[in-house]
């Protein structure tokens, strides 16, 4: 292949095509799909990105090499020519293979032993030259002794020696398994050393252009959300940008819609659900809450669509992954995993990909999988690996999708890493003998919170396992610090009543309870600040701003009142209690949430509009009950300043907390999930305590004294 016609150069033909309008700037192009874009002169390749810190490292993909790799001069002398070429893509991150620019995605160091073995530049029998251990020598002696044994006769008696003698196993005609291609240097460092740089995060417009290049007639978009900060990882306008049809609640509406001869649907997948509760049954009970919260996050669209396409899965615990895998297999076509970075797309990809199904027949009464022909519009493409490779191949210089990899029963899966932006390019893995393919797309930009944290502490921002927090009691004058740079301070709205807040930090960031004055000093990085750990980078204290005042206006009395409202205990109604327990979940983007709860007297919370002295107690109680019935259970927090101006009891006196964060960002809220009730530590119920022997000892002592006195009296009488 000539150097000027490499895969990346032909894909760049779309970038510099003369037919492209002049008004289209290079900043609109998906840089992750243009490998050689940053290798161009700076006058052409400069792509400004607003609202980014100046010190943020932005890695880009470089020019990729030809099909036959070039060996650098410093590599060892070759004794033979390569027997195979480098893979077109790194199966770990999807970046195109290249040997030109080190420390970039897709770079292969030809001096690595595993790369040289894959290319055939070095023999793979180094184990023979190494000294054998005593266990290996014993195994070799056993294998030599078993060579004279009749394997077929033993097999008839039920003794299988195939594992010990694989070379004497019966030949079934199956093809030998191909060697797994090696990972690029970046993926190798991510897997073994946990080091690497993030790639340039694409825009949602870039992903839309990529999905439009799908060769399949039936497409399904899986919008992956993170359970740690749900629903902050939601893309509210994704369905409109991708022209995805969400099924409405109108029963007369069409269930299937085709646009430009293509059908595209979307499902919501909440990943890492094991972070919410310890048991699968507890997570299943949260599905109504998750649907309603998602409906609110969708805005006005949420009230018009059905949400029967919401899946709550856990790839780590294998919760509902089998069911989602079967749905992917039944749908066929192209399945696209779309979402922000670090929401668990790559780990979910491995759990739901239908492996080992090349020889299985398609389910009956299912949709057909059609592949759009690209080379010849008059030809009819068949759903086979050859046709899929020809549909989007190297000859199409205007295609944004990389070529599909050859189909195998158990392909190599993408690399799973906590680094944001591990996937550098779409990873296409076909399944079902051409029935369809699953595509892992690069993640969209999620948050810049990590760039306000020291580099050695950035890994602590990701919630990797379920957290059982400690209960923090926020009394008046106290504040809660998270990592030393995020502060939650209760506001004393009612001067005549001092409220006590309870906080539960479901975040991997270390919480610290202290006075408000000390918390402000630590957060602003003052010189006289107490010695409390602050993981923020120097200079972040000057960027601290007010992120918002959040009102605790969600009623959680029934969930926290215990046996008072339980039907099997006292069985009181919530309206009969003289207090209310209010709560809210404060979300920290990409990190987790903090659950807040406070108990307020009903008389202090709801002001009665009845004039003083003009009504009876029963009338006041009825008025308060009416106010409780008319309250919206899902209100939006109102402005606190406006609330203070209200008179006559028009607005309840809601408790308020103030949150301060870098630049006043990265903070959200949602109705309380009551995660503390499901995750609180269990109290140790040991055996029955031993009965106290204090009274028995006293009685024995008194009896002993009485016996001694009787003996003395008897001796005196004699």
Please report the DSSP string for 644-707 in residue order: HH--TTSS----EEEEEEETT-SEEEE----HHHHHSPPPP--SPPPPP-HHHHHHHHHHHHHH
Same domain? 639 vs 524: yes
Q: What is the residue whose two structure tokens read 């206006």?
A: 553
- The segments of the chain whose pLDDT lies below 70 read 1-80, 124-136, 151, 157-178, 255, 359-399, 493-497, 606-651, 684-686
Lookup: tokens for 323: 């069911």
Beta strands 656-662 and 544-551: pairing type?
antiparallel
DSSP code for 149? S
Same domain? 185 vs 216: no
Q: Which of 446, 465, 483 is the last residue of a domain?
A: 446
Q: Which of 148, 164, 190 is the last residue of a domain?
A: 190
In a domain, 462, yes or no: yes
Whose CA is closest to 333, among 444, 428, 210, 414?
A: 428
Same domain? 436 vs 472: no
Cα 455 from Cα 287, distance rounded (Å): 37
Cα 679 from Cα 582, distance rounded (Å): 19
Residue 638, helix vs strand vs coil: coil
Lookup: tokens for 67: 């099909």
**Which residues neighbour 472 within 8 Å (Cβ) at sequence distance 6 or greater?**
480, 502, 503, 504, 505, 511, 513
Q: Concatenate the DSSP letters of all residues of 189-247 into one string.
A: HHHHT----PBPPPPHHHHHHHHHT--BSEEEEEEEEESSSTTTT--TTHHHHTT--PP
In a domain, 693, yes or no: no
> Do 585 and 469 touch, CB atoms closer than 8 A?
no
Apex 110 CA angle, 108 and 113, nearest 5: 105
> Do 405 and 329 touch, CB atoms closer than 8 A?
no
**Length of the chain, please?**
718
> Do 660 and 611 touch, CB atoms closer than 8 A?
no
Same domain? 511 vs 657: yes
Q: Concatenate the DSSP letters of all residues of 572-630 into one string.
A: --GGGSSEEEEEEEEEETTTEEEEEEEEEEHHHHS---SPTTSS-HHHHHHHHHHHHHH
pLDDT at 139: 72
Total domain count for the chain?
3
Same domain? 18 vs 65: yes
pLDDT in tens, 672-705: 999 999 888 777 666 777 777 778 888 888 999 9
Same domain? 620 vs 498: yes
Lookup: tokens for 39: 């290798």
Backbone phi, psi, residue 212, to 5°:
-65, -20
Whose CA is closest to 95, among 9, 8, 179, 10?
A: 8
- CATH code of the domain in which 346 resides: 3.40.50.300
In a domain, 700, yes or no: no
Same domain? 433 vs 459: no
Q: Give Rg (Cα) of the chain.
A: 33
Q: Which of 411, 446, 481 is the last residue of a domain?
A: 446
* Other Cβ atoms within 10 Å of 518 Cβ, number: 17
Domain that residue 542 falls in: 450-679
In a domain, 160, yes or no: no
In a domain, 714, yes or no: no
Same domain? 387 vs 462: no
Q: Alpha-carbon dihedral of residues 450, 453, 458, 464, nearest 10 degrees?
A: -70
pLDDT at 567: 83
Same domain? 238 vs 383: yes
Beta strands 436-440 and 333-338: pairing type?
parallel
Q: What is the residue whose two structure tokens read 């510099």?
A: 16
pLDDT at 588: 95
Cα 213 from Cα 202, distance rounded (Å): 16
In a domain, 85, yes or no: yes
Cα 250 from Cα 259, distance rounded (Å): 20
In a domain, 159, yes or no: no
What is the distance in angstroms between the CA of the first residue and the CA of the last residue of the chain? 130
Cis before 231? omega within 30: yes
pLDDT at 15: 35
List Cα–Cα distances, 517 to 91, 249, 399, 684, in angstroms: 52, 52, 59, 38
Same domain? 437 vs 491: no
Lookup: tokens for 87: 């893979």
pLDDT in tens, 446-491: 888 999 999 889 888 999 999 999 999 999 999 999 999 999 999 8
In a domain, 158, yes or no: no
pLDDT at 405: 85
Same domain? 585 vs 494: yes
Cα 505 from Cα 446, distance rounded (Å): 21
pLDDT mean across residues, the chain: 76
pLDDT at 575: 84
**Which residues neighbour 480 within 8 Å (Cβ) at sequence distance 6 or greater?**
472, 474, 487, 488, 489, 503, 505, 511, 512, 513, 519, 594
Same domain? 374 vs 236: yes
pLDDT at 45: 32
Cα 199 from chain centre: 18
pLDDT at 571: 85
**Which residues neighbour 347 within 8 Å (Cβ) at sequence distance 6 or greater?**
271, 315, 316, 416
């Amino acid at each position: 292949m000539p150097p000027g016609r490499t895969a990346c150069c032909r894909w760049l033909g779309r970038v510099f095509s003369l037919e492209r309008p002049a008004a289209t700037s290079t900043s609109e192009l998906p840089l992750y799909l243009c490998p050689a874009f940053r290798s161009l002169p700076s006058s052409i390749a400069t792509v400004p990105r607003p609202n980014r810190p100046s010190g943020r490292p932005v890695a880009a993909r470089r020019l990729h090499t030809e099909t036959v790799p070039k060996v650098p001069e410093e590599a060892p002398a070759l004794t033979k020519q390569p027997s195979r070429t480098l893979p077109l893509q790194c199966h770990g991150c999807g970046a195109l293979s290249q040997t030109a620019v080190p420390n970039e995605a897709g770079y292969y160091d030809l001096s690595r032993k595993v790369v040289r073995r894959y290319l055939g530049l070095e023999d793979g029998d180094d184990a023979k030259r190494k000294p054998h251990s005593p266990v290996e020598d014993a195994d070799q002696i056993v294998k030599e002794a078993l060579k004279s044994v009749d394997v077929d006769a033993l097999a008839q008696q039920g003794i299988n020696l195939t594992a010990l003698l694989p070379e004497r196993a019966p030949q079934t005609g199956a093809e030998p398994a191909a060697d797994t291609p090696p990972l690029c240097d970046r993926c190798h460092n991510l897997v073994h050393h946990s080091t690497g740089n993030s790639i340039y995060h694409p825009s949602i417009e870039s992903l839309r252009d990529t999905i439009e290049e799908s060769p399949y007639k039936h497409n399904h978009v899986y919008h992956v959300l993170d359970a740690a900060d749900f629903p902050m990882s939601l893309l509210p306008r994704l369905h409109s940008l991708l022209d995805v049809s969400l099924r409405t609640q109108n029963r007369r509406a069409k269930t299937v819609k085709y646009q430009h001869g293509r059908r595209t649907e979307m499902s919501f997948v909440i990943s890492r659900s094991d972070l919410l509760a310890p048991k699968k049954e507890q997570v299943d009970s949260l599905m109504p809450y998750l649907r309603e919260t998602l409906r609110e996050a969708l805005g006005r669209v949420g009230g018009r669509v059905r949400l029967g396409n919401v899946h709550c899965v856990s790839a780590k615990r294998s919760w509902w992954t089998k069911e989602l895998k079967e749905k992917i297999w039944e749908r066929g076509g192209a399945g696209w995993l779309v979402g922000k970075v670090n929401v668990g797309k790559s780990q979910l990809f491995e759990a739901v990909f239908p492996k080992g199904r090349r020889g299985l027949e398609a389910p009956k009464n299912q949709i057909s999988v059609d592949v759009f022909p690209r080379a010849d519009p008059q030809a009819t493409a068949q759903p086979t690996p050859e046709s899929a490779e020809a549909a989007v191949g190297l000859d199409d210089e205007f295609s944004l999708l990389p070529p599909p990899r050859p189909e195998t029963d158990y392909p190599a899966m993408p690399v799973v890493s906590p680094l944001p932006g591990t996937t550098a390019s779409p990873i296409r893995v076909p399944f079902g003998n051409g029935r369809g393919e699953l595509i892992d797309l690069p993640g969209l930009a999620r948050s810049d919170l990590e760039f306000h944290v020291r580099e050695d502490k950035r890994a602590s921002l990701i919630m990797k396992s379920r957290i059982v927090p400690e209960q923090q009691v926020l009394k008046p004058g106290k504040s809660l610090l998270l990592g030393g740079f995020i502060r939650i301070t209760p506001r004393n709205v009612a001067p005549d009543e001092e409220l006590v807040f309870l906080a539960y930090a479901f975040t991997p960031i270390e919480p610290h309870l202290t006075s408000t004055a000390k918390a402000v000093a630590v957060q602003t990085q003052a010189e006289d600040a107490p010695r409390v750990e602050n993981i923020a980078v120097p200079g972040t204290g000057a960027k601290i701003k007010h992120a918002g005042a959040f009102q605790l206006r969600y009623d959680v009395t029934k969930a926290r009142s215990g046996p008072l409202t339980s039907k099997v205990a006292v069985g009181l109604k919530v309206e009969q209690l003289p207090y209310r327990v209010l709560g809210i979940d404060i979300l920290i983007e990409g990190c987790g949430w903090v659950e807040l709860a406070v108990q307020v007297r009903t008389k202090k919370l709801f002001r009665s509009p009845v004039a003083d002295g003009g009504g009876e107690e029963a009338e006041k109680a009825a008025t308060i009950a009416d106010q409780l019935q008319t309250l919206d259970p899902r209100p939006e927090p109102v402005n606190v300043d406006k609330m203070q101006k209200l008179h006559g009891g028009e607005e309840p006196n809601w408790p308020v907390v103030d949150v301060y964060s870098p630049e006043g960002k990265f903070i959200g809220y949602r109705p309380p999930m009551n995660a503390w009730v499901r995750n609180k530590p269990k109290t140790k119920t040991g055996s029955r305590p031993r009965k106290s022997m204090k009274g028995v000892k006293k009685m024995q002592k008194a009896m002993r004294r009485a016996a001694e006195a009787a003996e003395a009296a008897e001796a005196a009488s004699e």
